[in-house]
């Protein structure tokens, strides 16, 4: 899969089909505030196409603003729900049940 590396988050979001965002590990960057540089909010949603989706493993910090939750492209709550069902099946199978 071809890719292009950039330091501009907005360029990366333009044309993206799926955005998988994770939390920044502040403990690794104690001397810099990356929150404003790597946060998805309403401005970033305007860049995304109407059929793009935003995923996040949760829990979140400031990297995913609460105002994104109501956007139909925000699919992370569904993602977490689906993960719950997958884990339930895996535990059921591990217990020897079908």
pLDDT digits 0-9 by tens, 41-88: 999 999 999 999 999 999 888 899 999 999 999 999 999 999 999 999
What pTM does this model have?
0.81
Nearest CA-CA partner of 74 in 65, 83, 85, 87: 65
In CATH, the number for domain 9-94 is 3.40.50.1370
- Residues facing residue 55 across a β-bridge: 20
Going by their DSSP bridges, the two strands 18-20 and 53-55 should be labelled as: parallel
Domain range list for the chain? 9-94
Sign of CA dihedral 60, 48, 43, 25: positive
User: What's the half-sphere exposure (Cβ side, CA atoms, 13 Å) at 21?
Assistant: 28
């Amino acid at each position: 899969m071809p890719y292009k590396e950039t330091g501009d988050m907005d360029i990366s979001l333009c044309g993206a089909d799926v955005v998988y965002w994770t939390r920044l590990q502040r403990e690794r960057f104690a001397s810099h505030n990356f929150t404003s540089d790597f946060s998805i909010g309403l401005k970033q949603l305007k860049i995304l196409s109407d059929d793009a989706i935003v995923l996040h493993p949760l829990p979140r910090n400031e990297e995913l603003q609460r105002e994104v939750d109501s956007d139909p492209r925000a699919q992370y709550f569904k993602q977490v729900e689906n993960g719950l069902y997958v884990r339930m099946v895996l535990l059921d199978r591990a217990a020897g049940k079908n």
